[in-house]
Structure 1
Amino acid sequence: MGEFILKHSPNGVWFGIFTDFAAEGVKHGVSSRVGGKSAPPFASLNLGLHTGDDAETVWHNRQMFSRAVGLPAEQIITAEQVHGDIVQVVSEHQAGRGAKHYHEAIKGTDALITNIPGLPLMLFFADCVPVLIFDPVNKAVGVSHAGWKGTVAKITQKTVLSMQQHYNTKPQDCLIGIGPSIGPCCYEVDEVVMTKLRAGFTQWEELVAPHGERWQLNLWEANRRQLVEIGVLDSKITVSGVCTACNTDIFFSHRAEAGRTGRIGAVIAL
């Protein structure tokens, strides 16, 4: 099992990496909010084009983050995330979709997979769970966006299964990185969420803690369990354990910042 660590790029950008991915030579990163040009409330490394921030500033930030990771910003492929469970297979002709303009992003998608070398896949987050996936045997990568809706729909599990279908990926070979998101310390949910959770997880009681008339939900564990369920080895799953709502000096948090904030990005490429 690897670690999640923060790095400081020479261009001033702070971002996190998973050490086991880095050891395999996989270019990847989970951005922080530090090192960009956006003004409050998006200060400062906002990567989300759909937040109300200035589009040119966001493009500048995306270029800075991409440069820090070592990937070409112009080639980034993004998605119009809708909290669903659709996985999109990405090829060369889609390079650059959504990199500069939100309306060009792949529609209605919350996970991207590819086996094309050098093609960066990037999704955006402000409390939802970023999950990076690497198959070192068949050389394929994926990234998924798992809020509570995606988590109960098992988007992360479906991303690995889609890689299995298209690239012959074996779950037991995969390295998984579960990035910073709202943690069980801060994520209170209501009966609407609990109803879906009970329907999707046989041992749902182990994913929540009662908190008055509500519950505190552990999205990290819910995503880890759905991966183990299909054969991913627990020893190959790294959970960052970093709560975005507890650390708004480093990450954006939709809940802690009352919905007016920026987005971090999670990117991966072969």
Structure 2
Amino acid sequence: MIIIEPEIFNVFPEIKCGFSTKTDPEALPPYYFNLSASVGDDPAAVMARKERFYNWFGITSSDVATQYQVHEDTITYVTKPGLSPSSDVLVTDVTGLGLVVSSADCLPVFIYDKKNHVIAGIHSGWKSSEKRIVRKALEFLQDKWNSHPDDLYIYFGPSISGEVYEVGPEVAQKFPSKYLIPKKEKFLLNIPLFNLDILTSFGIPDKNIQVSRLCSYSSKKLLHSYRRDGQVSGRAVGMILMKEKN
């Protein structure tokens, strides 16, 4: 099991964040190290893999908050484990509670407010990005905890890059031309850059941001990709956990 761990949170011993990959000696095609129970994989095998992933953080499935992601802009404040229906943002100020974001091309975003000790996990595909879900999450933190941009540290996990993410004109017209490259009758859309500019406009310092350079579509040996492999394939999850400060 290989887990991608961002460096941006290394200065905070109370924060642990990681993103799963396909790679595992016991994981076989077409699912590999799959962490989704909704793609046709064996449920028992999926649960066993999830427990291994959670154990890497030092917790179990009984310490995890998940969400039924719907590609909208709903934000859910959680204080206990379990499934939150119809949500694409989970936020908590509770220690020991892991926040899970599922992804197989969409942009996973993880936030830590170092002053107020709040974490957030965001699922931002093109639909949620078009709704400015990341900005709405930042505004939620600001409204509830008076979070300041200088105190927010943010990680963009692996996602499909603007070099390969093809969309039709019906999607492209929803985004400024800065984030589009024409390609015959379609366009290449850069979702990470679109969301990065949202952070900048909100006042988040560059030094507080880490953007993964891994493309889910292009990293065939390492990462899952729905766009590349279709429905019968694996899904990744990312998680952020806040522990008690020593």
> What is the TM-score of this pair, normalised by structure 1?
0.85
Q: What are the within-5 Å matches in structure 2 for residues 137-148 of structure 1?
A: 137-148=115-126
Q: CA deviation at 1:237?
A: 1.1
- Contact (CA 8 Å) 1:252, 1:263: kept in 2 or not? yes
Aligned-pair CA distance for 1:171: 2.4
Does structure 1 residue 240 correspond to structure 2 residue 230?
Answer: no
**For 1:47, what is the secondary structure of its paired residue?**
coil
Point out the more displaced range, 252-261 or 173-182. 252-261
Q: Structure 1 unaligned runs (5+)?
A: 1-12, 98-104, 198-203
Q: Is the 8 A contact 2:108 2:159 kept in 1?
A: yes
- Equivalent residue runs for 1:117-196 within 5 Å: 117-196=95-174
* Percent of residue pairs identical: 29
* 1:261 partner SS: coil
Query: CA 1:119 to 1:234, structure 2 compared with 1: closer, same or farther past 3 Å?
Result: same
Q: Which moved more, 1:186-195 or 1:67-76?
A: 67-76
Letter in 2 for 1:20: I
Residue 65 of structure 2 aligns to a residue in which SS? Answer: coil
Residue matched to 2:181: 209
Q: Is structure 2 residue 44 aligned with structure 1 residue 72?
A: no
Deviation string 1:38-68 (CA, Å, 9 cap, x unpaired) is 542111x111122221221111111111112
> 1:3 — aligned with what?
none
- Runs of 4+ aligned structure 1 residues displaced above 3 Å come to 36-39
Q: 2:194 aligns with which of 222, 228, 234?
A: 222
**Cα offsets for 1:94-130 (capped at 9, x unmatched):** x1x1xxxxxxx21110010000011100010000001
Q: Determine if contact 1:85/1:110 at 8 Å carries over to the other structure.
A: yes
Instruction: Give the gaps of 5 or more residues in structure 2.
Output: none
Give the Cα separation in 1 of the matches to 2:6 and 2:223: 17
What is the rounded CA distance, in whole Å, between the counterparts of 2:27 and 2:39 in structure 1?
11
C-alpha distance in structure 2 between counterparts of 1:140 and 1:262, whole Å: 30
Alpha carbon RMSD of aligned pairs, Å? 1.4
Question: What number of residue pairs does the alignment pair up?
Answer: 241
For residue 249 of structure 1, report the CA deviation from its aligned partner. 1.1
2:49, 2:142 → 1: CA distance? 34
> Which residue is equivalent to 1:4?
none
1:251 is the counterpart of 2:229:
no
